[in-house]
Amino acid sequence: MRWFVLLLLFLATGAAAAPREWVDGHRQQILDEYLPLLAIPNVAANRADIRRNADHIVAMMARRDLAPRLLESEDGTAPPLIYGEWRVPGATRTYILYAHYDGQPVTPEDWTVTPPFEPRLVGEGREARIYARSASDDKAGVMAILAAVDALRAENRRPAFNLKIVFEGEEEAGSPHLAALLRRHRETLASDGWVIVDGPAHQSGPPQLTLGVRGDVNMEVTVHGPARPLHSGHYGNWAPNPALMLAELLASMKDETGRVTISGFYDDVIPLTDAERAAIAAVPAPDASLRNELGLGWTEGDGATLTELINRPSLNINGMRSADVGANGRNVIPTQATAALDLRLVLGNTPDRQVQRVVDHIRAQGYEVLDRAPTIAERRRFPRIATVTREPGYPAERTPLDHPLAQSLSRAMRANGPFVLLPSLGGSLPLYLIRQELGAPSVTVALWNHDNNQHAEDENVRIDSLMNGIVTIAGIMTAE
Amino acid sequence: MRWFVLLLLFLATGAAAAPREWVDGHRQQILDEYLPLLAIPNVAANRADIRRNADHIVAMMARRDLAPRLLESEDGTAPPLIYGEWRVPGATRTYILYAHYDGQPVTPEDWTVTPPFEPRLVGEGREARIYARSASDDKAGVMAILAAVDALRAENRRPAFNLKIVFEGEEEAGSPHLAALLRRHRETLASDGWVIVDGPAHQSGPPQLTLGVRGDVNMEVTVHGPARPLHSGHYGNWAPNPALMLAELLASMKDETGRVTISGFYDDVIPLTDAERAAIAAVPAPDASLRNELGLGWTEGDGATLTELINRPSLNINGMRSADVGANGRNVIPTQATAALDLRLVLGNTPDRQVQRVVDHIRAQGYEVLDRAPTIAERRRFPRIATVTREPGYPAERTPLDHPLAQSLSRAMRANGPFVLLPSLGGSLPLYLIRQELGAPSVTVALWNHDNNQHAEDENVRIDSLMNGIVTIAGIMTAE
């Protein structure tokens, strides 16, 4: 079998090497195309700018015979999805490569290297970078996907699957029309899976492949005290203090290791598979350097690592407020105290069930739970009253490690060097929409230098990082 | 001995009746003198206004042969104490009657009955009131003391003690120069005790004699989390959350009945005497009506009444803050969480010892306690860090119920009808200064209608309340 292994090695090396050579030979050509794209302002709120971007990208795709067109919302006013495709005769699978062409809002006076829409190349060699809004987040995804197509065409190769391309125009505005657009263009967008090309590489350096995200739901708990603020001297020790009551309530929700003590909080969790556990264990642990950077003398989780812990449901206090402190403080018993809570969800959780568990816990502490402020009659009647409000939230999404999409992407990433495989991000993205509307799984490829200042001033992409990304994406396109 | 008791009763009745008749016959004359006094603006920050008040009051006192003069601060710029006296040959005691002639700042646009310094008489009969800033707080004290002198002079009577009169000019600004003024004029102000004429009557209606006040000290506790705000998705469940840590810390300070669980918190308390306990038990309990008004379904203290509870040291959370909630909330792990605490002190407590107990408790929960923000090295080293800051604070003050001053005042109040005797207010005043600088005890007489809007817009005094107050003060001046 030795000759067979050698042949495989040769093929693998060849597949990875060829786009690399093409990219090395076409750096200037790629930059000459990229910088004008970055010069078009792309804040989603400005619909005329978004259209200019869309038209420009459609032209870039037309030059590549990708049959581009705009997938519009029903009333035609939302930023359109840009769609293109490369049909491959005989292909048995169809994958969609996704990026977004809108960017975060800008505060031009904060930019120190160049104004946000005047892209500028700074530095030399490995440290050369392009500075501009969306240089990494996420026009780099748009450019890398199109350049990877060039690399394939140049060698007369073709993708290993029917390739569909989708570029979204309002991701940074929270994708308010994405569900409706997916539903409206369901036929066009039929596929076996989505590859999201977005986000920075792992903090330890290498690109990152993530197979899922946590879900998220926000809620607020307000505990009520006296109907009007009271003098803390005349009434202190007698009138119940809502800040203390809230403190007791919050303290009852977690133990000293940070484990949530709310009944059933971990019950719905679909356990990680052995393979997922192994993948998590293989991730370079950023714990020590993060603890150092953040000045943390301890961490929650009773010794578990950050990478392990982000695969559990969480309960975080985002903020807390009762009357005021510092110069605005007064000697009062406040009328109320509020905590904003953020629940992160993993596979198996639903926002409704998880919120209900928190509500049940509050009830179990003796509280009457309302979804509005109490009346005076309710205040007199119930010793403890909490007003609980919530947002809709959304569930987690994760593609199994043994799913063909995950397997194919892992092979492609590995062929291009070290990479980090994460079963799930700690953060949240509405990837459940893709499953809900189209029944398709998704994975996320994060390629750009992690110190790219995305969402902030002086956003940039390292040119090396961009070029490597093109090679990686060409590898993804051709991976069996 | 029966004739002797009858004689005492006759004398007591006579002493109370005579000023009443004089006051009833001189209502118009009293108002004609009072309204021009109220027309002089008296916010302490305006020193020229304060001088106009002082000159006006000196003239009022000169007309009464009270030998008035101004007791100035060393540099002559602070609002002066106005001093007067009525020496009584053969008197064995000297008491000082105190009121203050400055008033709270005003927001004229909020006043609905009359502008704050255009005094206006509104209503008829028992409900007739004078509206103006300081109508009750505390030019009513100034006017009532001087009118009581008139009532005595009209009947050729004289005080039962050497009467000294002190009117302060910056009480509402926190009496920043009072200690220095008392020290500087110690000889002039020698006495056997002070009678503070200030404050509203008891909520149940009758005037109130209080023999003390709680002390007070404020502190702030800030618990530290990560050195910069963290994304609650990427780091939630791993990075310690300072809002939760603060909640746990605060929850550890009190039990479910509101009793402070900090070690030694009640140790220094000088117990109430049996007589003081009896006095407290005799106070009309406002608990039921207050619970109804404030919408309280329970109260702290395990069944103890408000009047009992304000005689214990207290720990109140004045305010609490970590990141933010509501529209300004974000999905973060905050960098810090702060609670503002208010400790009320009773006889036996000192601000320093009581604060130290809270600090020791925080240490016992595993915290490194600093008086400043931690360095990054300290953050890395100590799992839990709290920054604790404090104000100086001041101790409680209480005159024993069997002290001659308390006994004399009780008799005088009783002679004029029902009154409430409180061993201590729940609130705080710096009465310890009088003991500290002059070695003298003090009691407080609160006479004006309790719905007087003091410190707010539409401040007022009921004319009946003012007239009754003059009779009460005349009774105090003549009480053995």
pLDDT tens profile B371-380: 999 999 999 9
Q: Is A403 on the interface with B (CB under 8 A)?
A: no
Asked if A216's CB is within 8 angstroms of B297's CB, the reply is no
Asked if B320's CB is within 8 angstroms of A246's CB, the reply is yes
Say what the pLDDT of residue A15 is: 45
Q: What is the pLDDT of residues A67-105, one digit of tens each?
A: 999 999 999 999 999 999 999 999 999 999 999 999 999
Is residue B212 helix, strand or coil?
strand
Query: What DSSP letter does each residue of A369-381 carry, written as one string?
Result: EESSPPPHHHHHH
Say what the pLDDT of residue A204 is: 81
Torsion of CA B41, B42, B48, B53, to 10 degrees: 90
Number of neighbours of residue B255 by Cβ within 10 angstroms: 13
Contacts of B374 in chain A (CB under 8 A): 295
| Among A254, A322, A380, beta carbon nearest to B295 | A380
Number of neighbours of residue B251 by Cβ within 10 angstroms: 20
Asked if B319's CB is within 8 angstroms of A324's CB, the reply is yes
| Location of structure tokens 């407290």 | B280
Asked if A321's CB is within 8 angstroms of B297's CB, the reply is no
From B406, B458, B403, B396, select the one nearest B433 (Cα to Cα): B396
Query: What DSSP letter does each residue of A426-480 carry, written as one string?
Result: SS---THHHHHHH---EEEEE-B-TTS-TTSTT-EEEHHHHHHHHHHHHHHHH--
Residue A179's contacts (CB-CB under 8 Å, 6 or more residues apart) are A433, A436, A437
From B285, B269, B311, B282, select the one nearest B423 (Cα to Cα): B311
From A332, A455, A399, select the one nearest A95 (Cα to Cα): A399
Decide if B54 contacts B80 (C-beta within 8 A).
yes
| Selected residues 121-150 of chain A with any CB under 8 Å from a CB in chain B | none
| Among A216, A291, A380, beta carbon nearest to B233 | A216
Decide if A278 contacts B210 (C-beta within 8 A).
no
Best interface-test mutation with A: which of B317, B328, B378 has the largest number of A CBs within 10 A?
Answer: B317
Residue B84's contacts (CB-CB under 8 Å, 6 or more residues apart) are B61, B64, B66, B67, B68, B69, B164, B165
| Among B256, B320, B325, beta carbon nearest to A340 | B325
| Among A296, A342, A382, beta carbon nearest to B331 | A342
Q: What is the pLDDT of residues A300-341, one digit of tens each?
A: 999 999 999 999 999 999 999 999 999 888 889 999 999 999
Decide if A444 contacts A198 (C-beta within 8 A).
yes
In B295-350, where does DSSP find H-type helix?
A: 306-309
Asked if A338's CB is within 8 angstroms of B233's CB, the reply is no
What distance in Å separates the CA atoms of residue B76 and residue B58, rounded to the nearest whole number? 17
What distance in Å separates the CA atoms of residue B31 and residue B40, rounded to the nearest whole number? 15
Q: Using alpha carbons only, how large is chain A's radius of gyration in Å?
A: 26
Q: What is the DSSP pairing of strand A368-370 with strand A385-390? A: parallel
From B110, B141, B111, B107, select the one nearest B34 (Cα to Cα): B141
Two structure tokens written together for B363: 């240490």
Is residue A271 helix, strand or coil?
coil
| Location of structure tokens 């078009």 | A40
Decide if A146 contacts A472 (C-beta within 8 A).
no
Torsion of CA A453, A457, A463, A464, to 10 degrees: -20
What distance in Å separates the CA atoms of residue B8 and residue B6, rounded to the nearest whole number? 5
Q: Is B300 on the interface with A (CB under 8 A)?
A: yes
| Selected residues 53-112 of chain A with any CB under 8 Å from a CB in chain B | none
Q: Is the CA virtual torsion A358, A364, A370, A376 positive or negative?
A: negative
DSSP state of A205: S
Asked if A331's CB is within 8 angstroms of B233's CB, the reply is no
Q: What is the pLDDT of residues A161-206, one digit of tens each?
A: 999 999 999 998 889 999 999 999 999 999 999 999 999 998 788 9
From B394, B346, B399, select the one nearest B95 (Cα to Cα): B399
What distance in Å separates the CA atoms of residue A226 and residue A334, rounded to the nearest whole number? 7
Which residues, listed in sequence order, are joined to residue A385 by a DSSP beta bridge? Answer: A368
Residue of B nearest to A333 (CA): B318
Say what the pLDDT of residue A121 is: 97
Decide if B159 contacts B86 (C-beta within 8 A).
yes
Two structure tokens written together for B128: 């007739």
| Among A235, A300, A338, beta carbon nearest to B237 | A300
| Confidence class for position A6, pLDDT limits 50, 70, 90 | very low
Average pLDDT, whole number, for chain A?
A: 93
Decide if A177 contacts A184 (C-beta within 8 A).
no
Two structure tokens written together for A107: 């505060």
| Among B247, B332, B340, beta carbon nearest to A318 | B332
Decide if B306 contacts B287 (C-beta within 8 A).
yes
Asked if A294's CB is within 8 angstroms of B230's CB, the reply is yes
What distance in Å separates the CA atoms of residue B357 and residue B9, rounded to the nearest whole number? 52
Q: Is A176 on the interface with B (CB under 8 A)?
A: no
Q: Where are the beta strands (DSSP E) in B110-259?
A: 120-122, 129-131, 162-168, 193-197, 208-210, 212-213, 215-224, 230-231
| Cβ–Cβ pairs < 8 A, chains A and B | 301
Decide if B160 contacts B479 (C-beta within 8 A).
yes
Is residue B205 helix, strand or coil?
coil
Residue A113's contacts (CB-CB under 8 Å, 6 or more residues apart) are A120, A122, A131, A458, A460
Decide if B359 contacts B387 (C-beta within 8 A).
no
Two structure tokens written together for B152: 């005595």
What distance in Å separates the CA atoms of residue B125 and residue B456, rounded to the nearest whole number? 24
Asked if B384's CB is within 8 angstroms of A298's CB, the reply is yes
Decide if B191 contacts B438 (C-beta within 8 A).
yes
Say what the pLDDT of residue A17 is: 56
What distance in Å separates the CA atoms of residue A401 and residue A415, rounded to the nearest whole number? 17
Q: Using alpha carbons only, how large is chain B's radius of gyration in Å?
A: 26
| Location of structure tokens 């308010």 | A176
Asked if B291's CB is within 8 angstroms of A235's CB, the reply is no
Whether pLDDT at A218 is above 60? yes
Contacts of B252 in chain A (CB under 8 A): 251
CA B207 to chain centre: 15
Is residue A320 helix, strand or coil?
strand
Which residue type sits at A413?
A: M
State which residues of chain B have pLDDT below 50.
1-16
Note if the bond before A55 is cis, omega within 30 degrees: no
What distance in Å separates the CA atoms of residue A239 and residue A221, rounded to the nearest whole number? 20
Note if the bond before A138 is cis, omega within 30 degrees: yes
Whether pLDDT at A16 is above 80? no
Two structure tokens written together for B272: 């109430």
A321: closest CA of chain B, how far (Å): 5
Asked if A236's CB is within 8 angstroms of B426's CB, the reply is yes
- Exposed (0-12), middle (13-18) or buried (19+): which is B124, by Cβ within 10 Å? exposed
Domains and CATH numbers, chain B: 2-213+396-478 (3.40.630.10), 215-279+311-390 (3.30.70.360)
Two structure tokens written together for B357: 């107990």
Q: What is the pLDDT of residues A406-464, one digit of tens each?
A: 999 999 999 888 999 999 999 898 899 999 999 999 999 999 998 899 888 899 999 99
Asked if A234's CB is within 8 angstroms of B427's CB, the reply is yes
Decide if A441 contacts A195 (C-beta within 8 A).
no
DSSP state of A254: B
Two structure tokens written together for A345: 């969800």
| Among A243, A376, A427, beta carbon nearest to B320 | A243
Contacts of A340 in chain B (CB under 8 A): 323-326, 329
Buried-state track B344-362, b at ≥16 Cβ within 10 A, e below 16: bbbbbbbbeebbebbbebb
What distance in Å separates the CA atoms of residue A194 and residue A191, rounded to the nearest whole number? 8
DSSP state of B186: T
Q: Is A346 on the interface with B (CB under 8 A)?
A: no
ipTM of model: 0.86
| Confidence class for position A9, pLDDT limits 50, 70, 90 | very low
Q: Is B455 on the interface with A (CB under 8 A)?
A: no
From B22, B161, B210, B197, select the one nearest B478 (Cα to Cα): B161
